[in-house]
Amino acid sequence: MEMYRRTFAEINLDHLAHNVRVLQEAFPNRFLCPMVKANAYGHGDAQLALFLEKKGIKHLGVCLIEEGLLLRDSGVKAEILIFRGFDSEGAEKIIQYGMTPVVSTWEHIEHLEAVAASPVGIHLKFDTGMNRLGFRPEEAQKLFERLWQNKKIRLKALVTHLFNGEDAVSEKGHSAEQLLKLHHVSEVFKPFDIFSHSLNSAGILSLLALQKKSVPENHPLVLQEWGMRPGLMIYGYNPLADKNICDLKPVMSLKSQVGTYRQIKTGETVSYSGTWKAQRDSVIAVVPIGYADGYHRILSNQGHVLFAGQRVPVVGNICMDYLMLDVTDVVQGKDLKDFKDQEVTLFGFGSDGNFLSPEELAQQAKTITWEMLTSVGERVPRIYTGEKA
């Protein structure tokens, strides 16, 4: 790969394999559909999908038809679930490329019936509280009648999405309520002999946490073998407060290399608008990564990075293509030549094994880990390491 700027996202496939194995071992026979939408949360969708297939993954979830087409064109054979809606043109593409639509409106059913030459397998989505996509549970009976012995449509599964998976451990939380609703819907559809999937990372990790103790028999998380759609956790992060539920390994490390150093005097400022003023003679490292690469500008004068194994502050406003670091404490009394081309880790693992979490940066940037990962820009090359990279 041509790379004239040493700024890249290192994707550790061994770590991905580990995270998936955690799930496969804990839930050997369950429906498992890793979410690889949004460029596999920024990790590179085609590469990851092909790798996940090799690891035995049979289902993959994306949002857009375009994302599914890209996977098929890259040679992905697994079942691809398309979660976003579609019109009749979209229905045709979905069928042509052997993908599985997640149907959430009556129009979707009409579009499929209009274009399907033979029965098309669908998953049916119910809105149990997210208030975003899906049928109301009250529509279950009417849907049953429309789909039972339908010549164009074959119902394969029911779907819902937890809007507050963080409370799934509780028997009385929003998640419990949502799961109960889908469970009741699934009773209407019993003659179909289908299954339901509902668990995102927070739901799955809650179930793992409960299984460590003894799970109450009627807990909504164990009412049926809920299928799983993990996103964040396969990329190495646990969104729950209890971080000891299982061992997950962060997959992406965002890295760069110092371009130049500036020696500045007390009172001089750094970057646009001069928001940072040196309180002493300082050494500033200029790093070729900026907000156009997905390093959030709100981290100006707030974020830290790893430089020569130590945390150093981001100083001054983050630019489109660069950010600046105050490395004075690390380089003081040393020859700057020893820090030529010094690696900088924006998040993830440095070459020395030190780790800086994007969860911490997300908090500082007033966002969530999902956004830190998916923000990593298109012009940042992804470099795959580990098994058969």
Ligand X SMILES: Cc1ncc(COP(=O)(O)O)c(C=O)c1O
Q: Kindly report the three-state secondary structure assignment for every residue of 87-100.
A: CHHHHHHHHHCCCE
Compute the half-sphere exposure of residue 99: CA atoms within 13 Å on the CB side of its CA: 31
Identity of the residue, 237 or 307, whose beta carbon is nearer to ligand X in the bound complex: 237
Question: Smallest Cα–Cα separation from 294: which of 191, 374, 199?
Answer: 374
Least Cβ distance, residue 222 to ligand X (angstroms): 19
Identity of the residue, 35 or 179, whose beta carbon is nearer to ligand X in the bound complex: 35
CA atoms of 284 and 270, how far apart (whole Å): 9
Question: Does 125 participate in catalysis according to the annotation?
Answer: no
Strands (E) across the chain are located at 8-12, 59-62, 79-82, 100-103, 120-125, 153-159, 195-199, 227-228, 252-257, 260-264, 269-270, 276-277, 282-287, 304-307, 310-315, 323-326, 343-349, 355-356, 382-385
CA atoms of 201 and 235, how far apart (whole Å): 10
Residues that bind ligand X (CB under 6 A): 35, 83, 161, 200-202, 229-233
Identity of the residue, 23 or 308, whose beta carbon is nearer to ligand X in the bound complex: 23
Identity of the residue, 226 or 339, whose beta carbon is nearer to ligand X in the bound complex: 226
Question: Does 334 participate in catalysis according to the annotation?
Answer: no
CB 56 within 8 A of CB 33: no
Choosing from 58, 243, 272, 340, which is the catalytic residue? 272
Per the listing, tokens 């009976």 go with: 141
- Active centre residues (catalytic): 37, 272
